[in-house]
Amino acid sequence: MKTYTMYKAQAAAYWEALNDNNLTEVEKKKDAQAFSKFFDNFMSGVYFVFVMFSLISLYFFTTRVIF
């Protein structure tokens, strides 16, 4: 649960920084890249869970239903 709250706080900080009007273009670009990196890592985790669930489901289908 600590990891989830850490990532949630990090995402909120990145999002708030993107909406700040007092930042320079370089800072906005840097913040956008940091948020994109975090979001890519998050989506990779989601894809990993989905692929693992799919492979396990396929394994059980092939071993229990077909054979």
Average pLDDT of the residues in 46-58: 96
What is the per-residue pLDDT for 41?
Answer: 92
What CA–CA distances, in Å, run from 30 to 15, 43, 56? 12, 20, 39
Q: For the residues 8-28, what does the mean pLDDT come to?
A: 75
* pTM of this structure: 0.57
CB atoms within 10 A of CB 25: 7
C-beta of residue 17 within 8 angstroms of C-beta of residue 31: yes
3-state helix vs strand vs coil in the chain, percent to 5:
90, 0, 10
Reported as a pLDDT band with limits 50, 70 and 90, residue 58 is very high
- The count of structural domains within the chain is 1
Looking at per-residue pLDDT, the higher value among 24 and 49 belongs to 49
- By the 8 A CB rule, do 35 and 15 touch? yes
By residue range, what is the domain housing residue 24?
A: 2-66
